[in-house]
Amino acid sequence: MAKKPLRVGTVGCGFMGRTHANAWRQAPRFFDLPFEPVLQAACARGEGRAQAFADNWGYGSAETDWRALVARDDIDVVDICTPNDTHKEIAVAAAEAGKWVVTEKPLALDAGEGEAMVEAVEKAGVPNMVFYNYRRLPSVTLAKQLIDEGRIGRPFHYRAQFLQDWTMSADLPQGGEGLWRLDAKVSGSGVTGDLLAHCIDTAMWLNGPIVRVMAETETFIRERVHQTTGEKAPVTIDDACQFLCRFANGAMGLFESTRYARGHKALKTFEVNGMDGSLSFDLHEPEYLDFFEYKSPEAGKTPSHTAGWRRIHVTNGEHPYMAHWWVPGLVIGYEHSFVHAVADFLTAAGKGRSAAPTFRDALQTQKVCEAVLRSAKSETWQETGAEA
């Protein structure tokens, strides 16, 4: 039976525009979904760029103004892949026009904007989701499954890192096309909102709300030429951030992120240590989840002479999402996390629901990011206000 078409309008044709366009195309080929996404319109600021993107990915038309895209009657879902300072305005307008809305992370520039976005989608009653895509790597989803099965028992410690090195040169300009991440007016913050937001989303999904934080940030290079003016201007983002935290369940947390870790392009890791076991993940080998099983719910305590870390190759049909891909032993990668996000969104929307992380879920991450920045500024512990 022909699936109901769902007409997608993607705003932003850069890095994330590509991952999303690919995901909308792939999801219905690998998953049995209630809708068939139709790539209806792509929007970028330059006409040539929007058209070239539309032609490459098979969108039916191109727009250069997101307002025109949102106003179109032939768009059902607005897919936001633009820099952070645009998310709120586009999402609120889309929700008010009755469109379904999915957006890239972080939800917004700050929690105030995030609240307005949550209000807009909830008032309009439209399905929504934020692309915290790392949750949907099968090994990360497996970690969630193992925790929910009680395999690590009471959690004591959670630690996460996201390290890069691409902004270390003092000659790198800030702001404008390609470098908007270095301008806090456009990005909201530096590594806190860009990188740690991913770590925080995963952490709170696996281990519950982070209730208070104590943070330190640093801006190593304090002035850079701004691309739009050609003049040197103060750098307003955090180049590095580290914070301690407490989870509502009592576990202690330790998070670190920087763009000054020479040699690291995307060292993204997490580890959680519980009474009965530990789990460890490293994005360099995303098809593996490391598991130390001290005690299993079925077999009791592992004999000490056979206890050890186990590398689970997360490629079996029993593993999350993997039955939809190839055969056991064959790996999938980064782009599949976006395909899974689209598949989960369409499945939920088919039941009239949003998919996690919803705008409201992502607002909790935004609150933690904001508390982290507040803490770094005030040099005090800060309550986050994040809810389950």
Ligand X SMILES: NC(=O)c1ccc[n+]([C@@H]2O[C@H](COP(=O)([O-])OP(=O)(O)OC[C@H]3O[C@@H](n4cnc5c(N)ncnc54)[C@H](O)[C@@H]3O)[C@@H](O)[C@H]2O)c1
Q: How many CB atoms lie within 10 A of CB 185?
A: 12
If the CB atoms of residues 86 and 364 are measured against ligand X, the closer one turns out to be 86
Please name every residue paired with 278 in a beta bridge, in sequence order, or none if there are none. Answer: 273, 292
Distance separating alpha carbons of residues 341 and 55, to the nearest angstrom: 24
SS3 category, 363? helix
Distance separating alpha carbons of residues 320 and 303, to the nearest angstrom: 29
Least distance from C-beta 33 to ligand X, angstroms? Answer: 21
If the CB atoms of residues 51 and 133 are measured against ligand X, the closer one turns out to be 133
x/- binding map, residues 160-199, to ligand X, per CB under 6 A?
A: ------------------x---------------x-----
Nearest position to ligand X, beta carbon = 14
Segment near ligand X (CB under 6 A); pick from 82-90, 142-150, 210-218, 360-368: 82-90
Q: Which residues of 132-158 are buried (b: 16+ CB within 10 A; e: fewer)?
A: bbbbbbbbbbbbbebbeeebbeebeeb
List the one residue from 7, 10, 12, 167 that touches ligand X (CB under 6 A).
12
Q: Does 14 bind ligand X (CB under 6 A)?
A: yes
CB 379 within 8 A of CB 371: no
List the one residue from 10, 51, 84, 128 that touches ligand X (CB under 6 A).
84
Q: Does 110 bind ligand X (CB under 6 A)?
A: no
List the one residue from 7, 8, 9, 13 that touches ligand X (CB under 6 A).
13
List the one residue from 9, 28, 37, 83 that touches ligand X (CB under 6 A).
83
Distance separating alpha carbons of residues 44 and 62, to the nearest angstrom: 8
If the CB atoms of residues 8 and 152 are measured against ligand X, the closer one turns out to be 8
Q: Does 21 bind ligand X (CB under 6 A)?
A: no
Radius of gyration of the chain from its Cα atoms, rounded to whole angstroms:
21
List the one residue from 26, 40, 51, 82 that touches ligand X (CB under 6 A).
82
If the CB atoms of residues 81 and 363 are measured against ligand X, the closer one turns out to be 81
Structure tokens at 219: 């801006």
Stretch 56-75 residues interacting with ligand X (CB under 6 A) = 66
Structure tokens at 256: 């670190």
Q: Does 104 bind ligand X (CB under 6 A)?
A: yes
- Tell me the number of residues near ligand X by CB under 6 A: 22
- Tell whether the torsion through CA atoms of 204, 208, 209 and 210 is positive or negative: negative
List the one residue from 7, 88, 105, 340 that touches ligand X (CB under 6 A).
105
Distance separating alpha carbons of residues 231 and 87, to the nearest angstrom: 27
Place of tokens 């519980």: 274
Least distance from C-beta 201 to ligand X, angstroms? Answer: 10
Stretch 312-371 residues interacting with ligand X (CB under 6 A) = none
Distance separating alpha carbons of residues 194 and 199, to the nearest angstrom: 10
Q: How many CB atoms lie within 10 A of CB 263?
A: 7
Distance separating alpha carbons of residues 57 and 270, to the nearest angstrom: 34
If the CB atoms of residues 12 and 209 are measured against ligand X, the closer one turns out to be 12
Distance separating alpha carbons of residues 255 and 253, to the nearest angstrom: 7
Least distance from C-beta 181 to ligand X, angstroms? Answer: 7
If the CB atoms of residues 17 and 274 are measured against ligand X, the closer one turns out to be 17
List the one residue from 6, 8, 11, 369 that touches ligand X (CB under 6 A).
11
The closest of 277, 259, 43 to 154, measured between CA atoms, is 277
x/- binding map, residues 128-167, to ligand X, per CB under 6 A?
A: ---x-x----------------------------------
Which residues, 6 or more positions from 186, have their beta carbon under 8 angstroms from its beta carbon? 83, 84, 85, 175, 180
If the CB atoms of residues 202 and 280 are measured against ligand X, the closer one turns out to be 202
Distance separating alpha carbons of residues 4 and 66, to the nearest angstrom: 25
Segment near ligand X (CB under 6 A); pick from 14-22, 226-234, 259-267, 289-297: 14-22
If the CB atoms of residues 59 and 66 are measured against ligand X, the closer one turns out to be 66
For ligand X, the binding residues (CB under 6 A) are 11-17, 43-45, 66, 81-84, 86, 104-105, 131, 133, 178, 194
